[in-house]
């Protein structure tokens, strides 16, 4: 797919491991389950945004930028990985953060990811309630330009056609790992939020003419909006790759596992996080992978997969947020 045409910096630990989830598969009665460990991409606790940032930061540097600006919630994993990439590459970094989740305890407000953002030396700007983060990023970029800086704005979640290239490359990596092990991967299951991760995978497997289908689990509690974002980013990514002539691939986003809303803990999420910890020694996160795993467990219970099929759960990281949600796990968590 000619990924080599696009500028890319290398700071992710790749390939990430592909490991069997033997005890979970046995307990659930199949299918064959694997976890793709993108929580192990290595940059300041890793996660899926590191793959996107290899292309986004390369694009910034190629254009002469000296400052990265991005936005997210107070517990955003994306802004934490952006701050780390900026530190590595000697770029200044400004983070526009919104209080997008109604949690006000000390762990949430100053622990977990935001603690790491500050440690990484980023400028942290917490927006007053009701202000628009895209406008705030643009305003900040204007002020920095007036001071002679050269800012580069990365969208929320790193989700655009450039960032999604990281997951086009990840699709090829999964395809290669499966081939090496004689595995036929039928489905990849992934948390879907801003949509760039699923979009990159969809575009990547499509471009490879792969058998593998991608199932997104909506964590926004608004699956129609999430699916529309995935579709839009997938189409943009295919166009960016020059495959726009091909029929656009189908996009599946499963509703019903976002609980009461983005970042709000659900009983099902807490059960999934505890179950994976105790069965597999695998730590999930409370906002994305806990809900996505709950979705996968529910799909298996509903008979979605044949016992002979192979399903890969993409672990997108996010564990630093566990410490910000300590109170949600009180009592056996």
Ligand X SMILES: *Cc1c(COP(=O)(O)O)cnc(C)c1O
Chain residues binding ligand X by CB under 6 A are 47-48, 77-78, 157, 159, 191-198, 285, 288-289, 316-318
Least distance CB 180 / ligand X (angstroms): 26
Encoded tokens for 62: 């190629």
Quick one: 217 or 299, whose CB is closer to ligand X?
A: 217
- Say whether 110 is catalytic: no
Strand segments, DSSP code E, in the chain are 18-20, 32-37, 67-73, 92-98, 123-126, 151-153, 187-192, 213-218, 252-254, 310-315
Q: What share of the chain is helix, strand, coil (3-state, %, to 5)?
A: 45, 15, 40
Find the residue with minimal CB distance to ligand X. 318
Query: Is 285 exposed, middle or buried (CB count within 10 Å of its CB: 0-12, 13-18, 19+)?
Result: buried
Please, which residues bridge with residue 36 across strands? 18, 314
Quick one: 30 or 42, whose CB is closer to ligand X?
A: 42
User: Which residue in the list 76, 194, 210, 266 is annotated as catalytic?
Assistant: 76
Rounded CA separation 302/206 (Å): 27
Least distance CB 292 / ligand X (angstroms): 7
Least distance CB 161 / ligand X (angstroms): 13
Least distance CB 211 / ligand X (angstroms): 23
Pairing between β-strand 252-254 and β-strand 92-98 as defined by DSSP bridges: unpaired
Least distance CB 195 / ligand X (angstroms): 5
Rounded CA separation 219/164 (Å): 19
Q: What Cα–Cα distance (Å) separates residue 155 from each residue in 65, 132, 195?
A: 15, 13, 12
Quick one: 198 or 266, whose CB is closer to ligand X?
A: 198
- Whether the CB-CB separation of 54 and 82 falls below 8 Å is answered with no
Least distance CB 245 / ligand X (angstroms): 25
DSSP 10: -
Quick one: 16 or 159, whose CB is closer to ligand X?
A: 159
Quick one: 27 or 134, whose CB is closer to ligand X?
A: 134
Rounded CA separation 315/119 (Å): 25
Q: Give the other-Cβ count within 10 Å of 38's Cβ.
A: 27
Quick one: 157 or 295, whose CB is closer to ligand X?
A: 157
Active site members:
76
């Amino acid at each position: 797919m000619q990924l080599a045409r696009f500028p890319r910096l290398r700071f992710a630990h790749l390939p990430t491991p592909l490991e069997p989830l033997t005890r979970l598969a046995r307990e659930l009665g199949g299918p064959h389950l694997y976890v793709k460990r993108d929580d192990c991409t290595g940059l300041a606790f890793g996660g899926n945004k590191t793959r996107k940032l290899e292309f986004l930061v390369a694009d910034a540097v190629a254009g002469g930028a000296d400052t990265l600006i991005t936005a997210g919630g107070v517990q955003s994993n994306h802004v934490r990985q952006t701050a780390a990439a900026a530190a590595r590459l000697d770029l200044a970094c400004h983070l526009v953060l919104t209080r997008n989740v109604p949690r006000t305890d000390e762990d949430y407000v100053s622990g977990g990811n935001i603690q790491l953002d500050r440690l990484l030396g980023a400028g942290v700007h917490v927006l007053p309630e009701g202000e628009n983060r895209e406008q705030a990023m643009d305003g900040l970029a204007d002020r920095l330009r007036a001071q002679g800086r050269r800012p580069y704005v990365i969208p929320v979640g790193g989700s655009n056609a450039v960032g999604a290239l990281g997951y086009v490359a990840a699709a090829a990596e999964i395809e290669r790992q499966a081939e090496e092990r004689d595995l036929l991967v039928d489905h990849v299951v992934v948390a879907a939020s801003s949509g760039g991760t699923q979009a990159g995978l969809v575009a990547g497997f499509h471009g490879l003419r792969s058998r593998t289908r991608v199932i997104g689990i909506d964590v926004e509690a608004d699956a129609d909006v999430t699916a529309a974002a995935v579709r839009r980013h997938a189409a943009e990514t295919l166009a960016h790759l020059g495959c726009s002539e091909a029929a656009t691939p189908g996009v599946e986003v499963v509703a019903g596992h976002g609980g009461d809303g983005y970042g709000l803990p659900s009983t099902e999420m807490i059960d999934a996080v505890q179950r994976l910890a105790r069965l597999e020694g695998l730590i999930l996160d409370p906002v994305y992978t806990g809900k996505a795993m709950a979705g996968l467990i529910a799909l298996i219970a509903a008979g979605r997969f044949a016992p002979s099929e192979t399903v890969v759960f993409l672990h997108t990281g996010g564990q630093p947020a566990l410490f910000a949600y300590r109170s949600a796990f009180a009592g056996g968590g």
